[in-house]
Amino acid sequence: MELAGWVRPAVVFCAGAVVGAGVVWAVAVPSRPAAQESLRGVAEITPGAGAARPTGAVDVSPWPSAKTSGPPDKAALIPNPGLRVTRPGEVIDGYEVHGDISVEADNVVIRNTRVVSDSHQGWGVIQRQGAGGLVIENSEIVSTPTHKIDQGVLNFGGMLTVRKTEISGTADGVVTPHGLIEGNFIHDPSAGKDDHVDLIQAGSGPAAGLKLVIRNNTLLNQQEQTSAVGLFQDFGAPHDVLIENNLLGGGGYTVYAGRGAQDKRATSDIRIIGNVWTRDLFPKGGRWGPVVGWEASGKGNEWRNNVWADSGRPVEP
């Protein structure tokens, strides 16, 4: 059957998965801290660009960029409406999806795929409660001012892996309490009237037996709010998080490190190691500073080898 057709409400993959479009669910999206800052115009930064680095500066060119993330051949992608994936182990490969992808089965793989909103929609890809093992790789999720996506990837299920994927224009990039977020380029978010902006956001600790690993990403929030990485206490204290070897910048504070301003639940096993903060978006890294909410006394918490890109000097929490 022809896959590229635009006839709604259904389209069928040759692999046999039943998919569909136009289904609307009511989803409770995790709340976020009240914004302290107003929005600013979008700026641009290209990893590795600029004048010669001063002594001690960090070469940021190895970090992920548009050249190292996203589908390798966008011109070859097959247009398709939004998808509902219900078959375990299904592989979605080589499509430009206009709408959302709702994952309702285990061990689904989305690769070499571009997700573009065709209306104002809540998310680009969602893993539903009860599903787990979703892998998104070498893909792109893009929101436009007229057709906005609120969350690039929203996870209500189990394990999630997002790697070598570019996400831009959304209010939030990846919203999940657990998973592996690695080698991605998440940048240039947009915010509506009531939006808070977090490129990677967790509203609690991970599910039992899981962790949240955020490693080797480029995370650039050109907005004055809220974060590049936000660990919050909406549904519980953050714990078992590794934030390692990322290029970070922007937001109100670039990193919200888990301690709640009002909630007194202690954080634990949060390790923030070997990250590089850029001042190219704001002189303090974020509008107000590089980090807030770090709990040095938390059991297993570790902060080390975090530096400024322009000087190589330590970033202090």
Contact 96, 77 (CB under 8 A): yes
Q: What is the pTM of this model?
A: 0.84
pLDDT computed for residue 252 by the predictor: 97
The pLDDT tens digits of the residues spanning 184-193 come to: 999 999 987 7
The pLDDT tens digits of the residues spanning 268-288 come to: 999 999 999 999 999 999 999
Q: Which of 7-11, 48-52, 265-269 has the highest mean pLDDT?
A: 265-269
How many other C-beta atoms lie within 10 A of the C-beta of residue 169?
A: 20
The pLDDT tens digits of the residues spanning 115-136 come to: 998 877 799 999 999 999 999 9
Nearest Cα residue to 98 out of 163, 22, 167: 22
Contact 19, 13 (CB under 8 A): yes
Contact 238, 51 (CB under 8 A): no
Residue 270: DSSP 8-state: E
The pLDDT tens digits of the residues spanning 8-24 come to: 222 233 333 333 333 33
The pLDDT tens digits of the residues spanning 17-47 come to: 333 333 333 333 333 443 333 323 333 334 4
pLDDT at 54 over 70: no
pLDDT computed for residue 41 by the predictor: 31
pLDDT computed for residue 145 by the predictor: 77
Contact 176, 153 (CB under 8 A): yes
